[in-house]
Amino acid sequence: MRNSGLGKKLIILVLILAVPGFLYYLLTVGGKNRYKGLNYFGPKKLSGTFHKFHGEKIPDTTYHQLPNFSLTDPNGKAVTTADFDKKIFVASFFYTGCPEVCTTINDNLRKLALNYRKNNMVYFLSISVNPQQDRPEVLKDYAARYKDVPAGKWLFLTGDTASIYNLARKGFLVNALKVNDKEFVFSDKLILIDADKHIRGYYTGTSAPEVNKLNDEIKVQIAEELRKIKAPN
């Protein structure tokens, strides 16, 4: 009986020692990391250049990127694409007169923003689809309800109507449409953008499981961006 107990202990010890090595093997093969990043969304095309992987020549792909934009924050300050160089951000659309759907989405965004309040790589943008009404001073009053989120972490933005709708459709690849002065059609998606301005995920902003998935995938994207920084030239 004592020998049997000793054998079990030895097996457990071997597993404890072996599992980390096995996991490392799964992640790396011959020095090549097998980490799988998030998908890219939007149109893509071949760039005409190539790279080698395990001796095989593979064509490079150019993925859809956000166009340059310039919007306005609640203090009347311009916020541009350049402000998010080497940053990850989550974008969404809303308007201050929106019914409860926007409240649900923004409550979920608040939780995410608080999760990343100390991370200087991650930001959140909520863009109004009713800029004629949602002037900077209106957004300032609206943003005050989320004052527990550190300043600059979550930006409520407005701007020119045509520019915002064009950015939604051609940049973020979601719908934005004015029905009348009180009704707007817009996407309820939270959109994950990487440091190179590629779309890496869409998540339903009213769904707790989807928001949890976004939280997990933000961490995956942070890891990818850090790997780029550490990668040798």
Distances (CA, A) of 10 to 13, 17, 20, 23, 51: 5, 11, 17, 20, 46
What is the per-residue pLDDT for 11?
55
Whole-angstrom distance, CA of residue 155 vs CA of residue 167? 16
At 6 the pLDDT is 57
> According to the model, what pLDDT value does residue 209 have?
98
User: How far is 110 from 147, CA to CA, in rounded Å?
Assistant: 10
Q: Hey, which residues does 178 pair with through a beta bridge?
A: 184
Q: Which residues neighbour 220 within 8 Å (Cβ) at sequence distance 6 or greater?
A: 37, 38
Alpha helices for the chain (secondary structure H): 2-27, 100-115, 136-143, 161-166, 208-230
Please give the Cα distance from 192 to 210 (Å, whole number). Answer: 12
Taking only the tens of pLDDT, the chain with its 233 residues reads 555 555 555 555 444 444 444 443 444 444 445 558 999 999 988 766 766 666 777 777 889 999 999 999 999 999 999 999 999 999 999 999 998 899 999 999 999 999 999 999 999 999 999 999 999 999 999 999 999 999 999 999 999 999 999 999 999 999 999 999 888 999 999 999 999 999 999 999 999 999 999 999 999 999 999 998 876 54
Q: Alpha-carbon distance 93 to 176, whole Å?
A: 8
Q: What is the pLDDT of residue 60?
A: 75
Q: Two tokens at 4?
A: 């049997």
Check residue 122 and give left, alpha or beta (phi > 0: left; psi -120 to 50: alpha): beta
